[in-house]
Amino acid sequence: MRKILLVQGVCCLAFGAAAQEAAAESPAEAVAVELPEVVVEASRLGNTPMEMPQDVQVIDRAAIAATGAKSVGEVLEKAAPSIHLHRLGAGNPAMTQLATRGWGESGFGRLLVMVDGERLNSVDMSAPDLSRIPLANVRKIEVLHGPQTVLYGDNSSAGVVNILTDIDGGKDDVDYSTKTRIGAHGGSWETFGGDVAVRTGDAELATIAWANANWEKSRGYRGNSGWEIWNADGGVKKFFENGSFFKFSAFYNDANSRLPQQLSYAKWHSAPRHTDFEANKYRRISSGFDMQVEGVVNDENKVRLDVNVANRKMRSPSWYYGGWQDYDWATGLPTDYVSYDSLYAYMYDIWSYDFTPQWINTTAVFGLDNELVAGANYRYDRLDGKTASGTWYSPSYYNDWYGAGVKDWSKYRYERQTMAFFAQDTLHFTDYLAMQLGARYQRTWSGNTQALKNSRTDNMGAYEAALLFTPADDLKTYVRFARFFRNPFLDEVPYNQSYQISKLLAPEHGWSVDVGGEWRFLDDFSVAADAYITKTKKEIFYDATGTPANNVNSPSDTIREGFDLRGAWEKDKLAGLAIGYSYVNAEFDGGRYDGNTIPCVPESTVSLTGRVWLWDDCFIFGGYRYQSYQISCSDFHNTARKIPAFGLFNIGAAYEASSGLLKGWSFRFAIDNLLDKNYCDWSTYGSNYWPGAGRNYQFSVSYAF
């Protein structure tokens, strides 16, 4: 292990309240009573960040507003420097990928994203669809850094992002009155959108209900990079006298995206808005429901049941050709005849079922305060897929790629069943010292009808141990050890020399150690620091240098060493500033790539955000983010051209009228990439580049009543 030197700097942040579609309060939360502590629901025990022996960051509505972000991905990028975005869609929120802690090409498979109890991570190699979460509906984002496998299983090796949009508080905290909010926004690239949200309730019945709808359409920054996104969600929550509750929510998302694909290095610099692929597209339709029931047995015991059912339909036709043609968004057909070299059409239909009963107990042990959460998890995922290919332009292929007239579809089914048992216990030796222990046992069966050996069963374990020292209410330090695992994506498979799927990959596993702390002082200041080292065995990645190029279990270990620093200062209605720094060294430990840097991982990241109030209802904000160079994806030899470092500025202003004739109205104007930087955060082999978006603006307005 290498020693990591922590250099802790006190700098600062202020996240004022704002108003607009990207920063407005969720209508279902606009008048909820603020709780005295920020509760982290991802802990399953409702602990505050200072009660958890790990690095926890909470981004509330005020913090979201101060970033000036337009999407959930942008919020995380600007407020959490250790999280990196890969923009394969040049501004399209549905084509944005998240990564953290030194995981690069498929880092989205190690960072679990949840929204109101639903896992957004898919069992196939598609990244979580962040367009599924309109920012106007978000009331809080919780980021748990480091492995969370004990409580959450797969996809949480690097951490959890927990996004909350539903109501906050208990029976006596919420406002049951009817509230409505409508909003609209527009900006660069012919981007337009609107949203509406309604919340209502009945105090006598202790029941509250909400519904939200959002729409956005854009031509996109690059050629063939436009999108159209529809969202609808709603729910109902019933409270009972003893603190029990029942909640049911449902959602629908339709994200229709064009795929601009890659450019050469020369074209990226000379014509970043160009695309060589004018017809490729991708559509994902998601729907599902989530049910949560929590029963209070007595002062020391609660039981909880979470049930989630989700369906994701994904369609993607791709054409490769030597000519240019116009493309009609409504029909999906070319308006000019063109000869195509080849056509590929992909269809996925994924069903996921998740069932998690839990028991929460706070009975004292030998006179010491104790908190125990224990439960089980059953999950079933099934992917039914089709693939078709053809040559040259054919109306039968083009019009019938959904399957009606195509005769040579290749059909397959991937499946996975997991059964897990988990427990986590926190024992408080004194008011200042606590120990947390946890473990998870999981048995996984995976099946693949295309593989020569078409199934495998794995027994996996995860565990954690941590010490928390809190000498004062506003100061904590901790040390934490965690062992984690991750199953491969269902379609993350290796091929033999005959390009047949020979077998299924083994799960990857490893361990991680964190040391850190957080201090909040003088009412207005806070600092946090975390240092970590992570070692992974059998890490799964795509090795483009093999023959054939393949998904593989790494024959050598991988190691990641890093630290994260955050500092903040906030003076309400005056000004504020925040700075964050993230460093990670990710490399291979042995084998033919020994000592080489893992691709698609920036070593250093700096983020700065701030705001200044002009008067009580108006503030201006701005920020800067710098990201160091990266090794190009799939360049395991570290010999190809690197992805250059870049820095981006953003500025804006927000106004929310709290009195007078404009009361209830909110306005916001924001400019991203102020200096119109031509940058890129995703490249493969040092030859294929996906440019980021140039300078762009957005204006939004909303009215709440």
Concatenating the DSSP letter of every residue in 56-118 gives EEEEEHHHHHHHT-SSHHHHHHHH-TTEEEEETTSS-GGGEEEEETT--TTGGGTEEEEETTE
CA angle (220 as vertex; 214, 221 as ends), nearest 5: 140
> Are 8 and 565 spatial neighbours (Cβ–Cβ below 8 Å)?
yes
Rounded CA-CA distance 470/477 in Å is 6
* pLDDT of res. 136: 86
* pLDDT of res. 693: 94
* pLDDT of res. 226: 93
* Length reported for the chain: 705
Nearest alpha carbon to residue 218 among 366, 360, 93: 93
Instruction: Please give the helix or strand (H or E) that residue 605 lies within, else none.
Output: strand 604-615
Tell me the HSE value of 199 on the side-chain side, using a 13 A CA sphere: 24
Rounded CA-CA distance 579/78 in Å is 10
Rounded CA-CA distance 427/198 in Å is 42
Q: Which amino acid type is present at position 319?
A: W
Tell me the HSE value of 214 on the side-chain side, using a 13 A CA sphere: 26
3-class SS at 256?
A: strand
Rounded CA-CA distance 308/294 in Å is 15
Rounded CA-CA distance 144/122 in Å is 20
Nearest alpha carbon to residue 128 among 153, 110, 146: 110
3-class SS at 405?
A: coil
As given in the structure block, the two tokens for residue 413 are 């089914």
Nearest alpha carbon to residue 262 among 683, 703, 697: 683
Nearest alpha carbon to residue 328 among 403, 226, 214, 187: 226
Write out pLDDT tens, residues 503-543. 899 999 999 999 999 999 998 999 999 999 999 999 998 88
Rounded CA-CA distance 182/281 in Å is 31
DSSP per residue, 303-371 = EEEEEEEEEEEEEEEEEEESS---B-TTT--BSS---EEEEEEEEEEEEEEEEEEEEEE---BTTB-EE
Q: Which amino acid type is present at position 117?
A: G
Q: Are strands 159-164 and 111-115 parallel, antiparallel or unpaired?
A: parallel
List helix spans (H) across 237-304: 265-270
* pLDDT of res. 67: 87
- Residue 150's CB: how many other CB atoms inside 10 A? 24
Rounded CA-CA distance 578/567 in Å is 6
> Are 315 and 347 spatial neighbours (Cβ–Cβ below 8 Å)?
yes
41-704 fold: Maltoporin; Chain A (2.40.170)
Which residue has 């990857």 as its token pair? 508
> Are 17 and 34 spatial neighbours (Cβ–Cβ below 8 Å)?
no
Residue 606: C-alpha distances to residues 96, 254, 507, 683 (Å) = 20, 34, 33, 21
Nearest alpha carbon to residue 422 among 445, 443, 437, 438: 438
φ/ψ of residue 115, rounded to 5: -135, 115
Rounded CA-CA distance 406/386 in Å is 11
Q: Hey, where are the domains in the chain? A: 41-704
Nearest alpha carbon to residue 436 among 463, 462, 460: 463
Tell me the Cα Rg of the chain: 25
Rounded CA-CA distance 39/48 in Å is 5
- Residue 503's CB: how many other CB atoms inside 10 A? 15
DSSP per residue, 12-70 = --------STTTPPPTTTTTPPPPSS--BGGGSS-B-GGGSSS-EEEEEHHHHHHHT-S
List helix spans (H) across 505-596: none
Residue 36, by phi and psi: left (phi above 0), alpha (psi -120 to 50) or beta? alpha
Regions in the chain scoring below 70 on pLDDT: 1-37, 318-344, 389-409, 546
DSSP bridge partners of 180 = 198
DSSP per residue, 411-454 = EEEEEEEEEEEEEEEEEESSSSEEEEEEEEEEEEEEEETTSSS-
Rounded CA-CA distance 30/69 in Å is 19
Q: Which amino acid type is present at position 268?
A: W
As given in the structure block, the two tokens for residue 204 are 């006598």
Nearest alpha carbon to residue 24 among 65, 76, 56: 65
Which residue has 């005769």 as its token pair? 407
* pLDDT of res. 409: 63
Rounded CA-CA distance 255/126 in Å is 13
3-class SS at 395?
A: helix
Write out pLDDT tens, residues 78-105. 999 999 999 888 889 888 899 999 998 8
